[in-house]
Structure 1
Amino acid sequence: MDKVARLASQKAVVIFSKSSCCMCHAIKRLFYDQGVSPAIHELDEDPRGREMERALIRLGCNPAVPAVFIGGKFVGSANAVMTLQLNGSLKKMLKDAGALWL
């Protein structure tokens, strides 16, 4: 859990992902298309990935990926991020975290 918290606070937007996950790809694309450059941690490519995956599940992210943190705070998985995008509040969160300037 400490490693997840440490990694999540290192950049304005952090995404825990798996390289083979289509929803992870869609969420990463959503951020890239808005001009955000998130830190991506591919759990299937990290030796401690299984441990981090369990920590994300304990945090309430089910399924464990994609798990999105903005400004060091856990936002949620794909459903939560898409809801924020659709209701217009994602852009404000990104600006407040310093991930967007426009």
Structure 2
Amino acid sequence: MYSTIMMKKPSINKPLEGSNNKQPKPFLIHIKMTTVNSLLSENPVVVFSKTTCCISHSIIALIRKFGANPVIYELDELPNGNRIERELLELGCNPSVPAVFIGKKLVGGANELITLNLESKLKSLLINANAIWM
């Protein structure tokens, strides 16, 4: 499976107004995301983590507080962990861990999860993904 992202090449020297110089044309980047997508296929909550990341451990504890049982992939223990980490960075996870997917959708990292929790939105996301039942 490929994702296609439209981007514009950065331009250091912008053309002067009234000049005949044209803006750069968009180019396509094809990103192969088969590894991450395959790991998301059967699980309502997936967390990509590293064993040495204390923030990841806190986010996992937050998710478990609601009664959800996330599937956790410790990138530093997986043989293809570096490849998965690159895919997460390409998806916009910066830093790459923790990266939380709920209902096969990237929710984000620690900042996003904490914000959702403070806004009382995290529980409803977990319910809608069938990660918890009420």
The runs of at least 4 aligned residues of structure 1 exceeding 4 Å deviation read: none
Residue 89 (structure 1) aligns with: 121
Q: TM-score, normalised by structure 2?
A: 0.74
For 1:61 and 1:3, locate their aligned partners in 2 and report how far apart those are by CA, in whole Å. Answer: 15
Is residue 60 of structure 2 the alignment partner of residue 25 of structure 1? no
CA contact (8 A) 1:18 1:65 kept: yes
Q: Are 1:65 and 2:91 matched, yes or no? A: no
Q: Which runs of 5+ in 1 are unaligned?
A: none
Unaligned runs of 5+ in 2: 1-32
2:48 is the alignment partner of 1:16: yes
SS at match of 1:52: helix
The aligned residue for residue 77 of structure 1 is 109
| Conserved? CA contact 1:94–1:100, under 8 Å | yes
CA RMSD of aligned residues (A): 0.7
Q: Which of 1 and 2 has higher RCO (CA within 8 Å, sep 6+)?
A: 1
SS at match of 1:6: helix
- Which structure has the larger Rg over C-alpha atoms? 2
Percent of aligned pairs with the same amino acid: 51
Contact 1:9 1:71 in 2 (8 A): no
Task: Identify, as 1 or 2, the structure richer in helix.
Answer: 1
TM-score when normalising by structure 1: 0.97
Give the secondary-structure state (helix, strand or coil) at the position aligned to 1:14.
strand
Q: Does 1:48 align with 2:80?
A: yes
